[in-house]
């Protein structure tokens, strides 16, 4: 597994480096369209799911968060209101439930952690099995036509210094290692400045174009309901950085 979701000292930095708002609001609005069970796949530290949970009164409906990284889930479980969520360690294809979900979502580009064709197809098939007839599987993926990895380097806007809860300063930057046929491999370096210690992780993300995602979804029995190009909900155009998809059961 990707060490950035496993090493305790790096997992501790996750919420400081990823502070979504617009994306959380987007999925919260989708959740507000229904009253049935909601699931976040690749929920990590639970930031997005707990944001949605906290907008609703207690005991409204079931919430499930699934992630294969126990270290990320440990942080999610420690947060306020975490007891309102069923946290599950694993991947969607192994998840069995009698519940049918009105919304299954993935965010902060967790979809791009699905590297093989098989993982993508298995995830789509499992989503189809777990969605209610009106349910939506929603997620975003970075648009490869914008080549976002060109900005992932020292000195770019993704080079940041954060201060941990212990008051430690940590500089974080990326260094792309390989770009090959829809896969980008990059290192993320974390310089713990006071200790003068650098911890590096290596990650690979998959970049699919809209047509490629749509073809795989259709093969698995899902149909494209909507696709947006930013968090305001504007229709997707090829120059947009984000591809934000909503898939539904094809028979719906
Ligand atoms: C960038 S993080 C996003 C976490 C969270 N969604 C958020 O809002 O911050 C990607 C997450 O995807 C998870 N992940 C990796 N492989 C996965 C898979 N095959 N299925 C589901 N989640 C996966 C990782 O463990 C990690 O927690």
pLDDT for 224-245, tens place per residue? 999 999 999 999 999 999 999 9
The pTM for the full model equals: 0.97
Q: How far is the CA of 107 from the centre of ligand 1 (A)?
A: 8
Q: How many helices (H) and strands (E) does the chain have?
A: 7, 11
pLDDT for 104-137, tens place per residue? 999 999 999 999 999 999 999 999 999 999 999 9
Query: Which is the closest atom of ligand 1 to the Cα of 114?
Result: 19
Q: Which CATH class is domain 3-143+208-249?
A: alpha beta
Q: How far is the CA of 163 from the centre of ligand 1 (A)?
A: 23
Query: Which is the closest atom of ligand 1 to the Cα of 72?
Result: 27
**Does residue 205 contact residue 112 with C-beta atoms inside 8 Å?**
yes
Query: Which is the closest atom of ligand 1 to the Cα of 20?
Result: 8
pLDDT for 192-229, tens place per residue? 999 999 999 999 999 999 999 999 999 999 999 999 99
pLDDT over threshold 70, residue 58: yes
- Give which of 91, 45, 48 is closest to 68, Cα–Cα: 91
3-class secondary-structure state, position 49 = helix
Q: How far is CA 6 from CA 11, 173, 202, in A?
A: 7, 18, 12
Q: Give the distance from CA 200 to its chain's centroid.
A: 21
Which one of 3, 8, 44 would you pick to mutate in the ligand 1 pocket, going by the greatest count of ligand atoms within 8 A of its CB? 44
Give the residue, by CA position, lying nearest to ligand 1 atom 13. 42
């Amino acid at each position: 597994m990707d060490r950035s979701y496993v090493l305790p000292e790096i997992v501790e930095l996750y919420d400081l480096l990823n502070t979504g708002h617009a994306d959380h609001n987007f999925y919260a609005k989708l959740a507000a369209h229904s009253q049935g069970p909601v699931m976040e796949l690749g929920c990590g530290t639970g930031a997005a799911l707990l944001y949605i949970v906290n907008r609703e009164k207690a005991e409204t409906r079931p919430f499930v968060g699934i992630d294969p990284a126990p270290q990320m889930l440990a942080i999610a479980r420690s947060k306020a209101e975490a007891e309102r969520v069923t946290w599950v360690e694993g991947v969607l294809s192994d998840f069995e439930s009698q519940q049918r979900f009105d919304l299954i979502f993935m965010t902060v580009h967790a979809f791009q952690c699905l590297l093989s064709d098989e993982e993508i197809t298995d995830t789509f098939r499992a989503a189809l099995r777990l969605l209610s007839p009106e349910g939506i599987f929603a997620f975003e993926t970075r648009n490869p036509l914008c080549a976002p990895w060109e900005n992932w380097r020292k000195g770019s806007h993704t080079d940041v210094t954060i201060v941990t809860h212990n008051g430690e300063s940590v500089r974080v930057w990326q260094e792309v290692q390989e770009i090959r046929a829809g896969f980008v491999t990059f290192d993320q370096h974390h310089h713990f400045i006071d200790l003068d210690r650098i911890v590096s992780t290596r990650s690979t993300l998959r970049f699919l174009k809209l047509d490629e995602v749509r073809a795989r979804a259709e093969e698995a029995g899902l149909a494209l309901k909507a696709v947006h190009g930013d968090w305001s909900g504007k229709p997707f155009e090829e120059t947009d950085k984000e591809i934000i998809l909503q898939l539904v059961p094809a028979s719906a």
